[in-house]
Amino acid sequence: MDKTIKDIIKFYAKTHYDNYLEEHNITKISDDDIYIVICQFYNDDKKKNIREFVIDTYKKLCDKNKSEYPGDLVIKNILFDIFHKDEDEFIKQRIVLFIKEHQENIN
């Protein structure tokens, strides 16, 4: 379950990354700017959106795979652990690494 949630969060990050590239008509974000871009879409205002996206996507995956949805409370508890305030910087750094790796793989 944790892996699926992390994969959904990575998908969310990649989607925002792709949108950023398209909006700025670029093919890559410079390594120096990745952290700044991540901070734009990962902040306190956007974390609520990320949580809702994860819950909705998890429900859709369970429905598609005909598996039982564990319930919003279970997912919210996992997300609370992931998005704990003290972990924000760690999460941003993980997303930065993910984006750098992604950019290396597409070039």
pLDDT digits (tens, 9 = 90+) for 44-96: 778 888 889 999 999 999 999 899 999 999 998 988 887 776 678 888 888 89
- 21-40 pLDDT, tens digit per residue, is 999 999 999 999 999 999 88
Model pTM? 0.81
DSSP state of 42: S
Cα separation of 58 and 64, whole Å? 10
Residue 66 CA from chain centroid, whole number: 24
